Every structure is written in C-alpha cells, then in structure tokens.
Amino acid sequence: MCDGAVWAPVLSALSDHADCHVVDHGLSDGLDLMAEQLLAKAPPTFALAGHSMGGRVALEVMRRAPHRVTHLALLDTGYKAKVPGAVGEEEARKRQALLDIARTQGVRAMAQVWVQGMVAPERLADSALIESIVAMLARKSADVFANQIHALLNRPDTQDVLARIDIPTLVACGEQDSWSPPVQHEEIACLIPARPQVKTIPLAGHMATMEQPQACAQLLIDWLLLPRSAIPAQ
C-alpha cells in the first residue's frame, strides 16, 4: 500500500549516488508477478532496495535473476512463508479484519488503525508523520489492499534464496519495529553466507524510511558505495 512517499524523504540524499526509481505494483496479487513486472522494466543491472513487502519482492527478484542485481538492501521485511495452523490462521484473520475496515469504512479509516503499530510509539504524537503515512495508504484502493494481502498470505519461503546471495547486502530495520523486529533481521542475516551486520535505526518502527530518513539515507549511501567485490561481513 506504500507508494513513492515511503522513499521520498531519502531520495534527495541518494540522487547524487544513483538514478533512483520507485516501483508501483499496481493490482498485482502475487509476489512472483510483482518480481516479473519489476524485471521487465528494470535496466540490465541495478541495485535493489526493498522495504516491507518490497523486501519480499526483492527476494523473488533474486530467485529469478540474481545475475542482474549488483547490491541488495532488505529493510523492515521478512523471509518466511505463512506459518501453518493456528498462527497462520490468526495472521490471516488480522489481515482480513483490516480489509473489512477498508471495504466498509474506507482505506483511510483502515490506515488510521494500521499505523498505530507501524511507527515507534513516541512518533505517534507526530501528527505530520502520521498524516503522511495515512494519506499514502489512502491513495490506494481496497482492491489493491485485497490483492496485496493475497500475495502476502501466499508468500513463499525464501531461505533458499538468502543462502545463495553473494553480493553486498544491507539488512536493516527500525529498532522498534514490532511487525518485522530486529531479531527477524538477525535471522535473515544469518542465512546469508557473508553474514552482514544488521543495522538497527534508533527511534524508528516499521516505517523507518519515513520516521528517520537521514539515518536510512546514510545506510543506503554507504551500501551503494560498496564495490561489487566487497561483501560486508560481521
């Protein structure tokens, strides 16, 4: 449900280092389709950064065309398939509850509920930040939300993809990301052969690029400047 606004606060800092493009997945309802659409429009080789669901899309790109990606950044994301049984059913129930709000009360109403757990608690009082996130989601439709929920509930496990990564990789998240917590990113890093050091962003939750854009921009600049042969390790 994010658009270019999730990256806008960091793009000005990155523009001196890269020609940046933000991908919109439209009405795609599968991570595989999102990855294929991205590859169809991307240049022959490129650095790839994915935030949240975008991180899962980035891993699907790596499954299909690892030779085209020079650098990979995974921010506030995950790597496992939906857990079977009661845990997975509860995830589906929670996602459906949000979709029901979007269908019956509007996407903006859903976003106002959703955002409560998506930023660092102390940032909930930042009305400008909260409005920018709510307004971003409100620009998308309930149909887009439904399709993205379908994509996420049917997400593949990507441990095999992580195990084959051999390019400079940034693994980072908000220090207070309760949706995709630091411990999950430690697991991601441990699956990558080079074992990249996980970068945590202070005073940020899941929407780290919007909460702490300067810190995120510096992490991304340092990552982009790594030569292809340099694999950061702990």
Same domain, 62 and 160: yes
Does some domain include residue 232?
Answer: no
DSSP readout, 22-45? ----TT---HHHHHHHHHHHS-SS
Q: Are residues 171 and 204 in the same domain?
A: yes
Beta partners for residue 75, in sequence order? 51, 172
Instruction: Give residue-wise pLDDT tens across range 65-77.
Output: 999 999 999 999 9
Confidence at residue 232, expressed as pLDDT on a 0 to 100 scale? 52
CB 99 within 8 A of CB 149: yes
Q: How confident is the model at residue 228 (pLDDT cuts 50, 70, 90)?
A: confident
- Given 127, 151, 175, the domain boundary residue is 151
Q: Tell me whether residue 91 is in a domain.
A: yes
Same domain, 78 and 167: yes
CA distance 137 to 108: 7
pLDDT digits (tens, 9 = 90+) for 16-63: 899 999 999 999 999 999 999 999 999 999 999 999 999 999 999 999
Rounded to whole angstroms, how far apart are CA atoms 221 and 170? Answer: 11
Domain count, the chain: 2
CA distance 195 to 203: 25
Reported as a pLDDT band with limits 50, 70 and 90, residue 234 is very low
Residue 142 and residue 192 in contact, taking contact as beta carbons nearer than 8 Å: no
Residue at 221: amino acid letter: I
pLDDT of residue 231: 58
Give the model's pLDDT for residue 227: 87
**Judgement on whether residues 78 and 163 belong to the same structural domain of the protein:** yes
Residues 164 and 50 in one domain: yes
Q: Are residues 131 and 100 in the same domain?
A: yes
Last residue of a domain, one of 151, 170, 203: 151
Domain range for 187: 4-82+155-224
- Same domain? For 59 and 99 the reply is no
Query: Within this chain, do residues 66 and 12 fall inside the same structural domain, yes or no?
Result: yes
Q: Are residues 19 and 117 in the same domain?
A: no
Same domain, yes or no: 181 and 147: no
Q: Is residue 94 part of a domain?
A: yes
- Residue matched to tokens 């429009």: 41
- Backbone φ, ψ for residue 201 (5° rounding): -105, 110
Among the three residues 151, 175, 201, which one is the final residue of a domain in this structure?
A: 151
Nearest to residue 76, comparing CAs of 11, 195, 171, 169?
Answer: 171
For position 12, which CATH number holds? 3.40.50.1820
pLDDT digits (tens, 9 = 90+) for 166-224: 999 999 999 999 999 999 999 999 999 999 999 999 999 999 999 999 999 999 999 99
Instruction: Please report the pLDDT score of residue 230 as a whole number.
Output: 55
Pair (12, 59) in one structural domain: yes
DSSP 112: H
* pLDDT at residue 67, rounded to an integer: 97
Rounded CA-CA distance 177/193 in Å is 25
Task: Evaluate whether residue 234 is within a structural domain.
Answer: no
Looking at the domain assignment, is residue 178 inside a domain?
yes
Same domain, residue pair 56 and 122 = no
In a domain, 231, yes or no: no
- How many other C-beta atoms can be found within 10 angstroms of the C-beta atom of residue 169? 24
> Encoding tokens for residue 19?
């020609």
Among 125-129, 131-135, 227-231, the minimum mean pLDDT is found in 227-231
Tokens of 122: 């102390």
- Say if 90 falls within a structural domain: yes
Q: Cα–Cα distances in Å, from 149 out to 12, 17, 65, 93, 154?
A: 31, 34, 25, 11, 8
Question: Cα torsion for 205, 209, 214, 215, to the nearest 10°?
Answer: 50
Q: Is residue 136 part of a domain?
A: yes
